[in-house]
Chain A
Amino acid sequence: MNAGYALIACDVFADELSGLFVDPPWRDLVFLQMGLHDYPDKLRTSVQAIVDTLDADGRFDHIALAYGMCGNGLVGVQARSKSLVIPKAHDCISILLGSAERHEAILKANPATYFYSPGWIRNRRVPGPDREHWLKSFYTERYPDDPDLVDDLIAADVSVFSHHNCAAYVDLTNDRRARCYCENCAGFMGWQMTQHTGDASWLQALVRGPWSSDKFQIVAPGESIVAACSQLSMQ
């Protein structure tokens, strides 16, 4: 870490990164919009574009990524002259929970779990009352002459979440408004709600080090991120 680093972070971590780290050690911080994991190719090209920009910056030797597997959206990313540092996480939820194992255990206990966090809630597209409003306006603009189709599209979106039955709230920042919002969403969806206290140690380690090999993959300059199947991580 002595040589310094730049951080590329999903916007889902904006609250945690600004709330937990006063006088942060990164030399540069670039946020990318959240939700790109739904479009892994777009996530890949967006991250690669930022990496390419940072690659020429002589102030640091590493580029840290506040991402996990995220739909394998980071596979193929490479830097020419910097090392890439990536948490061995499934996604932001693993990082907020402090370990991939804890994340896996919650899903194993109930595969019908849908995770909420303050950042994820911030975009108001989580399953809940605001999502329907957002979709209605989005699709009405796209298909202005076909209200039946818009209704069908909203019904289809509702069906996407029909197999879930539990809103799992994960928080590192004690955000009461976000928790309350999650409660509302759970009620709206007819789900139970569980709360899981976040564990900041992984995010702390990403920001302050050390980047231990059990928690982080370091990808050398010129090498690409690949999906390492044996441990579901990057190498």
Chain B
Amino acid sequence: MEPKLNELSEAIKAGRRKEAKLATEELLAAGVAPEEVMSALSAGMDDVGRRFKANEIFVPEVLVAARAMQTSMNLLEPVLLSVGSEPEHTVVIGTVEGDLHDIGKNLVAMMVKAANFKVVDLGTNVSPDAFIAALREHRAAVIGLSALLTTTMPAMRRTVELIRESGVAVKVMVGGAPITQQFAQEIGADGYAPDAASAVDEAKRLIARTAA
């Protein structure tokens, strides 16, 4: 089944939704473990992320790849649930108040979900209160805050402050085009991810640190 898994990764890389759907259906019908199929999806999307960073492809290409991956994930999720592969940890995610940009946030949500986390996506322009309420409701292990604009970086800082003041025990991870490791440290975030693929690693690292 390896060629078919490669085919699936290639369909994601090229943003070919129909081919991705077909390959996913065939893999599942052949009894390939859904986790393996998910890995092929993530591998394809990782490659898309790398090429985007290298300026080889642009936002629309990333988006069609993400949509192809989402199409496959829609097929995979019920199968994962049926085999009892339930997510152990929850990640709440959203774009901070005053910022309506969601491309990066959506990519992170999808990649984190593909890594078998439960994702609660609050959307964009999310107030600190809404973040805190969701953290309490879902008992999330990690919260991911996104900002695209330098004008909304102060809102990210404020959100982190209010999460800390609320006393909710959660690891805060931040990211977005203008966000740097230095800024993450200055505002008291626990983690920083420069892209969607590293957001998965960072979420895992933060959870491992909590458990340790």
Q: Is the CB of A149 within 8 A of B124?
A: no
Q: Is the CB of A152 within 8 A of B17?
A: yes
Interface centre among B61, B67, B150, B183 (most CB of A within 10 A): B150
Q: Is the CB of A229 within 8 A of B177?
A: no
Q: Is the CB of A111 within 8 A of B125?
A: yes
Q: Is A75 an interface residue (CB 8 A)?
A: yes
Decide: A153 near B178, CB < 8 A? Known: A111-B125, A163-B102, A229-B183: no
Q: Which of A75, A104, A230 is the one whose CB lies under 8 Å from B180? A: A75
Q: Is A172 an interface residue (CB 8 A)?
A: no
**A125 to B15 CA separation, bound complex (whole angstroms):** 23
Q: Is the CB of B153 within 8 A of A104?
A: no
Tell me which residues from 208 to 235 in chain A have a Cβ below 8 Å from any Cβ of chain B. 226-227, 229-230, 232
Q: Which of A42, A91, A154, A230 is the one whose CB lies under 8 Å from B60? A: A154
Residues from chain B with Cβ under 8 Å of A232 in the complex? 150, 153-154
Minimal beta-carbon separation of A111 from chain B (angstroms): 5
Q: Is A200 an interface residue (CB 8 A)?
A: no
Chain A window 149-164, contacts with chain B (Cβ cutoff 8 Å), 1 for yes, 0 for no: 1001110110110011
**A139 to B98 CA separation, bound complex (whole angstroms):** 32
In the complex, the chain B residue whose C-beta lies closest to that of A70 is: B150
**A103 to B100 CA separation, bound complex (whole angstroms):** 16
Q: Is the CB of A160 within 8 A of B63?
A: yes
Q: Is the CB of A229 within 8 A of B153?
A: yes
**A27 to B24 CA separation, bound complex (whole angstroms):** 62
Interface size bucket, A side?
20 to 34
Q: Is A189 an interface residue (CB 8 A)?
A: no
Q: Which of A71, A139, A160, A164 is the one whose CB lies under 8 Å from B103? A: A160
Residues from chain B with Cβ under 8 Å of A157 in the complex? 59-60, 63
**A71 to B151 CA separation, bound complex (whole angstroms):** 11
Tell me which residues from 101 to 119 in chain A have a Cβ below 8 Å from any Cβ of chain B. 103-104, 107-108, 111-112
Tell me which residues from 57 to 107 in chain B have a Cβ below 8 Å from any Cβ of chain A. 59-61, 63-64, 67, 98-103
Decide: A42 near B55, CB < 8 A? Known: A153-B60, A154-B60: yes
Decide: A227 near B60, CB < 8 A? Known: A90-B150, A160-B103: no
Q: Is the CB of A159 within 8 A of B151?
A: no
Q: Is the CB of A160 within 8 A of B183?
A: no
Q: Is the CB of B67 within 8 A of A71?
A: no
Q: Is the CB of B63 within 8 A of A159?
A: yes
Q: Is the CB of A108 within 8 A of B61?
A: no
How many A-B Cβ pairs are below 8 Å? Answer: 80
Q: Is B187 an interface residue (CB 8 A)?
A: yes
Q: Is A72 an interface residue (CB 8 A)?
A: yes
Chain A window 123-159, contacts with chain B (Cβ cutoff 8 Å), 1 for yes, 0 for no: 0000000000001000100000000010011101101
In the complex, the chain A residue whose C-beta lies closest to that of B101 is: A163
Residues from chain B with Cβ under 8 Å of A41 in the complex? 55
Residues from chain B with Cβ under 8 Å of A227 in the complex? 178, 180, 182-183
Tell me which residues from 184 to 212 in chain A have a Cβ below 8 Å from any Cβ of chain B. none
Residues from chain A with Cβ under 8 Å of B17 in the complex? 152
Residues from chain A with Cβ under 8 Å of B150 in the complex? 68-69, 71-72, 90-91, 232
Q: Is the CB of A156 within 8 A of B151?
A: no
Q: Chain A residues in contact with chain B, CB under 8 A? A: 39-42, 68-69, 71-72, 75, 90-91, 103-104, 107-108, 111-112, 135, 139, 149, 152-154, 156-157, 159-160, 163-164, 226-227, 229-230, 232
Other contacts beyond A153-B60, A156-B64: 15, CB < 8 A: A69-B150, A72-B180, A90-B149, A107-B98, A107-B151, A111-B99, A112-B100, A139-B60, A149-B14, A152-B15, A152-B17, A157-B59, A160-B103, A229-B157, A232-B154
* Closest A-B pairs by Cβ, 9 of them: A156-B63, A156-B60, A153-B60, A163-B100, A229-B186, A69-B150, A157-B60, A229-B183, A90-B150
